[in-house]
Amino acid sequence: MSDTRAAVDAVAAGGAAPLVGAPPVPPARAAGRSVVRALRGRRLARSLPAVLSWLLLTGLVLVALVGPLLVSADPLRQTSSALLSPGAAGHPLGTDDLGRDELARLVHGARPLLLVSFAATALAAGVGTLIGLVAGYVGGIVEQVLMRLVDLALAFPSILLVILLVAAAGPGTVSLVFGIGISLAPGLARLARALTAREAARDYVVAARIGGTGVPRILVRELLPNIGGPLLAQVVMTLSIAAGFAAGLSYLGLGIQPPTPDWGYMVQAGQEFLFSAPRLVVLPAMFTLLFVVACNFVGDDLRDALDPRGTA
């Protein structure tokens, strides 16, 4: 959660109150800067690592979406020959200890991991943003109660909280998404609260409130588009944490259950053959690592493009 805490501290340090006598900002959403408008005129992928990360992330998502349609081999079908070496007839990457095609298992294993990662991140973003918006805009006792609960959740190590939630709900995809999503929501809530508190003092929000606009409309139509940029960058970074948690829990047997191919479980199943067939461990671990690293670089790139302190 260090990235989230640093982002919140930066927002808190950079948020200044409007100057008295300054010309009023038009009380419309144009007063703010939505994600689309912020990206317009901003250049993404301005460095080689960012370009490679965008390409890698896009490629892995495409593999998860369309890869199973392009690989004809059945990832669950066992052959009579186990641990075939790469290049064997019909098995470009060989087979595992049960004679299952390794290429098919790698391709089919991308979808469960990415599905859990995106779903858990979406849950964390939804819950965290809602808490942060309400706390930052309403303030008072509501903010105190909500943020104390957030601080209490942040006091627990995230991985420990995930394990406790998943273990309590039982292993499986649904419990994995719920456990990871709830454990990652407090960090996003803290950032959303800091961003909302800064925006709530601006003229366009004050004008909307004076004009009789309801609280839900202000939160959704006025505040959310204007805090969406920094939140989006942090959500993409959170996606990398979710992927690491999903793979780690599958490795421990608390995540996606066999026989469904999954990169985390494939590492656990192949570690017995680390020296005789290292590809069974290295390949799924490498793809998981590449996805995590790509998400972090893409998140950094988005943060540079959507940094509110760098916009006029």
- Domain residues for the domain of 118 are 110-310
Is the pLDDT confidence value at 166 over 50?
A: yes
Confidence of residue 211 (pLDDT cuts 50, 70, 90): confident
Separation of first and last alpha carbons in the chain: 29
User: Coil, strand, or helix at residue 162?
Assistant: helix
In a domain, 23, yes or no: no
Q: In this structure, what CATH number is given to the domain that contains residue 200? A: 1.10.3720.10
In a domain, 3, yes or no: no
**Residues 166-173, mean pLDDT to the nearest whole number:** 82
- Residues belonging to the chain: 312
In a domain, 95, yes or no: no
Is the pLDDT confidence value at 56 over 70?
A: yes
pTM, two decimals, is: 0.82
Number of domains, the chain: 1
Is the pLDDT confidence value at 70 over 50?
A: yes
Give the whole-angstrom CA distance, residue 167 versus residue 172: 10
In a domain, 9, yes or no: no
In a domain, 292, yes or no: yes
Half-sphere exposure of 234 (CA within 13 A, CB side): 31
Residue 110, both tokens = 């991308």
pLDDT score, position 35? 58
Looking up tokens 């202000």 gives 218
Q: For 96-113, how does the pLDDT look when each residue is reduced to its tens digit (9 = 90+)?
A: 888 899 999 999 999 999
pLDDT score, position 172? 81
Confidence of residue 43 (pLDDT cuts 50, 70, 90): low
Question: In this structure, are residues 174 and 120 in contact, taking their beta carbons and an 8 Å threshold?
Answer: no
In a domain, 47, yes or no: no
Least confident of 46-50, 126-130, 182-186, 222-226: 46-50
Contacts of 52-55 with CB under 8 Å at 24 or more apart are 52/294, 52/297, 53/293, 53/294, 53/295, 53/296, 53/297, 53/298, 53/301, 54/294, 54/298, 54/301
In a domain, 22, yes or no: no
In a domain, 306, yes or no: yes
Half-sphere exposure of 23 (CA within 13 A, CB side): 2
